[in-house]
Amino acid sequence: MSRIRIAIIGAALLGMGACTSSQRSIYSVEQSAEEAYGTGQYQLAAREYAEVVQRRPGKTSTRIKLAETYLALGEPAKAREHLEIAYTIWPKDDRVINNLVRAMIESGDAPAATKLLQAHADRYGAVKDYIRLGKAYTAAGDFDRAERSLIMAAQLDRGQSDGPQIALAEMYQQAGDTDRALQRWRMALYANPYNQRASEAIRSAGHIPGPTFAIPPTELRADAG
């Protein structure tokens, strides 16, 4: 092999090495994205996260961060695209679900959000799933469906915790049913005597929160029976 050909090949190999070494590592790009996001440089963060996702499409955690950056930039349609992919991989992840619902609502597709949450609750049937569904219906002003969803949550919970009771109280309050709202605040106080939201709501209604004012949740009594 002639010296000229050897020189050409050597130069080509050196050039390839230089190109390879000039590309930042995935770790470096993601670190840059994290720093940009933390300082509110969302455009830069989006570019960096997008590069990571392009180079490593299977990095679901980074895809979620990219979607959250798009939400921060006021671009819910782009966020939704990535979150729908993430949801197919991590369907039970609360962060994915909450952000996907937000992206749907902010992009003007609230019906898709409630449809997703209804299907999710029907499939997995956890207390938190029905609470999330009930809150979505409450936000949409559909109080009948909200009540059904939140009562289902309370029944599944069997009156053991204050979460479903608080959600019911807030829903009734928003619907203008102050009597039933107060009743559920009292039940929330029974389930958790230290719940400040329940205590404040009871005081706002002109009553004194305490053990004697708290009442057992309906679902607790039903379970006992």
Superfamily of domain 27-108: Tetratricopeptide repeat domain (1.25.40.10)
Note if the pTM is more than 0.85: no
State both tokens at 103. 């992206």
Phi-psi region at 159: left, alpha or beta (left = phi > 0; alpha = psi -120 to 50): left
Task: Scan for tokens 């996260």, then name that residue.
Answer: 49
Number of residues in the chain: 225
Which pLDDT does position 14 carry in this prediction? 43
Q: Give the start-to-end residue ranges of the domains of the chain.
A: 27-108, 124-225
3-state secondary structure of 59: coil
Question: How high is the pLDDT of residue 11?
Answer: 42
Fold match between domain 27-108 and domain 124-225: yes
Q: How far apart are CA 217 and CA 165, in angstroms?
A: 8
Residue 22: the pLDDT is 77
Class of domain 124-225: mainly alpha
pLDDT averaged per 10 residues in sequence order, the chain, 225 residues: 44 44 89 97 98 97 98 98 98 97 95 96 96 95 97 97 98 97 98 96 96 95 58
Distance CA 206, CA 199 (A): 11
